[in-house]
Amino acid sequence: MKAVIQNKRAGLLLLVTFLLLVAPMSALVSHIDLLSDVSPFSGMAFTLITDSAGANGFLITLTLLVAITWYLVGSRSRLIALLVHLSILLVIGFVAKTGLKPMTESPRPYTALLVHQLFIPQAEHFYKLNDAQQTHVIEQVSKQVSPWRTKHWQGEKDYSFPSGHTIFAAICLAFFGGVFIEYKRYALVIGLGAWAIMVAYSRLWLGMHRPIDLVGSILFVGVVYLLMPNIHRLIERWFTLSAFAQHKKLTR
């Protein structure tokens, strides 16, 4: 286990740092007023940030990070090995997010506002409505809440825990951040970390998650990242052995 932790030290350190920075965000939630006016700049900024880790933009984020990694790594075989490892992490994260939400049945924070504004009797009631009814309730509160927020509410009417956006950000931070540290590209690490923090905060600002959702998501990624074998190293070794065997065959 010590050797495993040593090999993943950089990624784990980044996740611990992420966790320590996200945990105090609970103190900031009380200052987020979902009924407050939102400027076009703030609305656009938070939308772009949150979309960069969501269905609308995660592929763009992945493409950019993979391109940077390819430039740093240089080796096609190593890049393939890393991408296989990353793909498994992402699949585990996506499956876990999809499976845990209906199990935990944790209402989205914005449902508390719907209760406060008397549109529904209690938060759990929102999930007993069909999609059309949920849409109608959110449309009603849209007269008081900025569309920069409600359009995200309309797009995500499922349960709150865990945060899929935070899971994605945490995986990217641990995986790509570890690669960037290996190649001593610390500016990239800082930029990646800042992006992950902004993604996490955007979920609070939009009323989509509570701090516990973010903390639980990071802890989940940390456990998966720690327990998952170093598949990329095994694949790299296979590529090396295959190349050696091919070379030996040609030189006979």
Q: Is the peptide bond before 107 cis (omega within 30 degrees of 0)?
A: no
Average pLDDT over residues 68-77: 89
pLDDT-derived band at 235 (thresholds 50, 70, 90) equals low
Determine what percent of the chain is predicted with pLDDT higher than 90. Answer: 77
* Position 244 pLDDT exceeds 80: no
Helix 164-182 vs helix 211-227: crossing angle, to nearest 10: 50
201/47 Cα distance (integer angstroms): 12
Average pLDDT over residues 179-203: 96
Instruction: Report which of 56, 207, 211, 210 is spatially closest to residue 145, judged by C-alpha positions.
Output: 207
Q: What is the pTM of this model?
A: 0.90
* Position 242 pLDDT exceeds 70: no
pLDDT tens per residue across span 123-175:
999 999 999 999 999 999 998 999 999 999 999 999 999 999 999 999 999 99
pLDDT number for residue 229: 79
Q: Where are the domains of the chain?
A: 8-28+37-101+161-246, 107-158
Classify the C-alpha dihedral 145-122-154-159 as positive or negative.
positive
CA distances from 180 to 175, 220, 232 (A): 9, 22, 16
The token pair at 208 is 């989509």
105/138 Cα distance (integer angstroms): 19
pLDDT number for residue 28: 73
